[in-house]
A and B are shown apart, each in its own frame.
Chain A
Amino acid sequence: MLTYLRPAMNAPIFQFNRHRGDIEREVVERTVAELARFGGVEPPRSFQLVLNDAAYREIDRLEHSVGANPEQLERWKRLARRLGRMTPDELRNEAMGLCAHYVEDVQGNFDKRVYNMATKVLPVGLGLLFKGTDLASGVQRLAELRALPGMDALRDLSQRIRIEGELPTIRRLAEKGTLVVVPTHSSNMDSIVLGWALMEAELPPVTYGAGKNLFSNPLIGYFMRNLGAYRVDRRLRHALYKEVLKTYSQVLLERGYHSLFFPGGTRSRSGKVERKLKLGLLGSALEATSERLQRGDERPIFIVPVTINYPLVLEAETLVEDFLREAGQARYIIEDDEFSKLGRVSHFAMKVMGLNTSMAIRFGTPLDVFGNPVGPDGQSLGPDGTVLRRERYLFRNGVPCADPGRDAEYTRSLGRAVSEAFLRETVVLPTQFAGWLMLERERRRAPSLDLFALLRTTSGEAHPFASVCEDAEWLRARLVTLESQGALRLDPGLRTGAIGDVLTEAVNTFGMYHLRPALERTDEGGILVGDPKLLYFYGNRLDAWAQDLQAALRAGGEGAR
């Protein structure tokens, strides 16, 4: 039976609703104070500029979007016309009103009852969602549905998702300070799967900003709204809205809410582990630490890098297509991908349940806001293992000292530490392994083709299985060495399984979900490349080590001859 008995957890988010009004007021106040300095000028000019920017961008957006609300457009146009004649008070009030409106729109909710229910039924709920049962009315019925036939297959979600890493340490740190969970991002499933993983690992719930479009799925929307997610409308590009968002996340962090954000900013289009990170929210963590310190509050903030490793990615086809479209023209928001098609989600989920390979969620060593590793007792450790006094990083000549230039570089340094952790904690799965290897073999067959040409064609000729196995052994040997050096992680099956089985597993996995299989077995037993783009997407997980792996493959081949 699915009974989840959990220790009483004490996270600020459980009291969210009591402090809701308070938070809203603080966010509006601080945002308005910040906007009063907009453009480096004094009010009322600063308010005039920020309102003008908002009106200009909103009018532009609404005029170019289909089905926009004409009243809304008219309201912005009226504001734009009046801006020049408004009194200083009117300008300030207008800015404040807009901030309040947006905070209202952004603000999440946290319903302890939903959380309690979710801890019990979310595994089933996820299964249900995946199954595509009647979703609109599904919520109340979730508990009953546990008894339905077919649920058995869904109950072992925990066996399909492996949660690993420094969980005991992170549990202790959640009691000692505030967690900022920073995962890799490859799918819209990420926040849901991770939310479940946090519950499963007995870690507290986190608050996070999620694209407004994700809330359109009724069941997911229900859970997201009531489990601490706040809404980010990525269509709004004006400074006032951005400032509201930044302040909102900052205020929650300062108040000790465990938070989640995806430092890659958006789903990895190429399938590569993200290297260029958005530093904004990492910077907020340092700012919040420094703010707290000035108030004499020494509760630390811990950064927890997490990798989410899928054997199959729900949106793989759309993502890689988007990546291959010319750079700069990539659609930032994909509105109509696989995630919005429920049938596709459930199809995906059922397939994942049937896989032999588990997806892996790996929690890395927590870091402090300066990028130092943190030990089980919450202490920051230097490279030589000495315990560090964290606050000293903010000191100069014996006293705390504000220095934005220094803090910006600290944040870049933290970004580098997170991106190194992403690589170290990447769990290489058979599909990624086979994807990289098979594309590499195709490349060697057609060395003169550039990447784009290579991805548009296949050699059309099966690769003899024995020869693929031979290459795969060289590749795996190198990966095992890299793993022993702490450079990355391997799926247990990939590490120790018979190499033929690993490849077969990968071929089968690809064949189970993707409309056009990435790899196929021929009647003669060879491996035929079906979709090089998918190989590219999955293989890119190994891109950071590509040169090293190519060299190992060459050396292996030459040694054999």
Chain B
Amino acid sequence: MSRFVVIGDGAWGQALARRIAANGATVRLVGLQASRKRFGAGVSHTTDLAMALAEHEAVLVAVPVDALEALLRSAAPHFEGHHRVATTARGLAPGDVPRRASELLHALTCVRQTAVLAGAADAAALAADEPAALVVGSAFPAWAQELQTALAGPMLRVYTNPDPIGVELANALASVMTVALGVARAMGAGAASEATALTRALAETERVVVKLGGQAGTAYGLAGLGVLADLVFRGDGDAFKAGADIAAGRLEAAVAHRELVAASHSLAARARAAGVRAPLLEAVRALFEGSLAAREAMTTLMSRTARAE
């Protein structure tokens, strides 16, 4: 029988643990504080990370990206070569050089077998058994399949993708791009303008993904286009709402979504360092900063120098 550790007992961690347990696996759910809550059949809660890692080899990390570094530092002594780890946080980990979760994992621990989980599914969708899809990005085929089997459900499709870098980046970029699309929608830009913005968002995602070491196709897969479409179609996610707040001049409400602000900063920084053109990323970063007004952003973006597609 397969056995998993899920680190992080927030809504997302709980939803992942339940999903895996529903397929018959045993899951250790690790949290910072003891909990008497019942997490469902097959899921047992603990605060003892060392013990959980000594017992089980397959690990999902479900902590937000800004808590990742501290967690990995404390977990590092308990990891060994046989551990297989999937990270699930969207965005880049903050630092002098913002890093992807799997870069951080490689820099801080001895773990080699890594994977990233991304896609158009959140805790609520998973918990409510709504139709959704996830993608497992990993260069380790057996680990990717193990995760696919463990997570798949009647309403949850799970794909694998051998390009973890692309999956991780596309996933992070999609949420930032959604902010720009939220601005466009709230300003009543119209379907044609939104379509233009969407096309540009995808093209930019591809450029950044490729320049930072991923595959072009990944931008158009579930982690990129999939997430973008999910967020835009739903129109009620954080990123979309942040865009609406910016359009309405409610900057304070917009920057309350700290993870989005951080993602726009870190991704723009990585893109700049790599010398890749990323006007949408820069625009979102400037909008959050307040150094660019929404109206101005629309004009600049739509009136950039003409170039071939």
Contacts and interface: CB of A to CB of B under 8 A. Distances in A.
Interface of A: 370-372, 382-384, 386, 388-397, 403, 405-406, 409-410, 412-413, 547
Contacts of B109: 382-384
Given A383-B110, A386-B110, A405 B80 contact: no
Closest 5 CB pairs of A and B: A393-B81, A392-B81, A382-B110, A405-B141, A384-B76
B201 to A, nearest CB: 27
Contact of B76 (A383, A390, A392, A413): A383
A384 B275 contact: no
B306 to A, nearest CB: 23
B139 A382 contact: no
B110 A372 contact: yes
Given A403-B142, A406-B142, A409-B139, A384 B108 contact: yes
A383 B107 contact: yes
A382 B79 CA distance: 9
A226 B76 CA distance: 48
Interface in B265-293: 275
Given A382-B79, A396-B82, A405-B141, 14 more contacts: A370-B81, A384-B73, A386-B76, A388-B80, A390-B81, A393-B82, A396-B57, A397-B57, A403-B142, A406-B140, A406-B141, A406-B143, A409-B112, A409-B113
A413 B112 contact: yes
A382 B142 contact: no
Interface in B102-119: 107-110, 112-113
A407 to B, nearest CB: 10
B77 interface: yes
A372 B112 CA distance: 10
A388 B81 contact: yes
Interface string B33-68: 000000000000000000000000100000000000
A551 to B, nearest CB: 11
A370 B76 contact: no
Contacts of A403: 142
A161 to B, nearest CB: 35
Interface residues of B, number: 20
B contact face: mostly helix, strand, loop, or mixed? loop
Given A382-B110, A383-B76, A386-B110, A392 B142 contact: no
Given A382-B76, A405-B140, A392 B108 contact: no
B86 to A, nearest CB: 15
B112 A395 contact: no
B199 to A, nearest CB: 30
A388 B110 contact: yes
B142 A405 contact: yes
A334 to B, nearest CB: 32
Nearest to A405: B141
Given A383-B76, A392-B81, A409 B140 contact: yes
A559 B73 CA distance: 40
Contacts of B108: 383-384
6 contacts: A383-B108, A383-B109, A384-B77, A386-B77, A395-B82, A396-B82
A389 B142 contact: no
Contacts of A386: 76-77, 110
B287 to A, nearest CB: 27
Nearest to B274: A547
A389 B141 CA distance: 23
A544 B81 CA distance: 31
A157 B131 CA distance: 73
Given A384-B108, A388-B110, A396-B57, A412 B80 contact: no
B140 A370 contact: no
Nearest to B143: A406
A389 B81 contact: yes
Contacts of A410: 112
Contacts of B80: 388-389, 392
A390 to B, nearest CB: 7
A406 B81 CA distance: 12
A409 to B, nearest CB: 5
Contacts of B81: 370, 388-395
Contacts of A405: 140-142
B110 A412 contact: no
Contacts of A412: 139
A390 B82 CA distance: 9
Contacts of A389: 80-81
A116 B107 CA distance: 44
Given A383-B107, A386-B76, A393 B112 contact: yes
A391 to B, nearest CB: 8
B53 to A, nearest CB: 12
A371 B305 CA distance: 46
B275 A547 contact: yes
A409 B140 CA distance: 7
Contacts of B112: 370-371, 393, 409-410, 413
Contacts of A396: 57, 82
Contacts of B110: 372, 382-383, 386, 388
Nearest to A383: B108
Contacts of A406: 113, 140-143
Q: Which of B77, B81, B82, B107 has the most CB of A within 10 A?
A: B81
Q: Name, among B108, B112, B141, B142, the residue most crowded by chain A CB atoms within 10 Å (CB to CB).
A: B112
A392 B107 contact: no
Nearest to B111: A382
Interface string B75-90: 0110111100000000
Contacts of A391: 81
B168 to A, nearest CB: 16
Contacts of A392: 80-82
Interface string B135-150: 0000111110000000
A396 B109 CA distance: 18
A170 B80 CA distance: 25
Contacts of A371: 112
A343 B107 CA distance: 50
Contacts of B140: 405-406, 409
Contacts of A394: 81
Contacts of A382: 76-77, 79, 109-110
Contacts of B57: 396-397
B109 to A, nearest CB: 6
B213 to A, nearest CB: 11
A412 B164 CA distance: 14
A410 B84 CA distance: 13
Contacts of B142: 403, 405-406
Contacts of A388: 80-81, 110
A371 B76 CA distance: 17
B26 to A, nearest CB: 13
A410 B108 CA distance: 17
A382 B107 CA distance: 9
A371 B106 CA distance: 11
A333 B142 CA distance: 40
B157 to A, nearest CB: 22
A35 B139 CA distance: 28
Contacts of B139: 409, 412
A114 B36 CA distance: 76
A547 B139 CA distance: 30
B147 to A, nearest CB: 14
A261 B13 CA distance: 47
Contacts of B107: 383
A389 B110 CA distance: 10
A198 B110 CA distance: 31
Contacts of A384: 73, 76-77, 108-109
Nearest to B76: A384
Residue of A371, A405, A413 with highest tally of chain B CB at under 10 A: A405
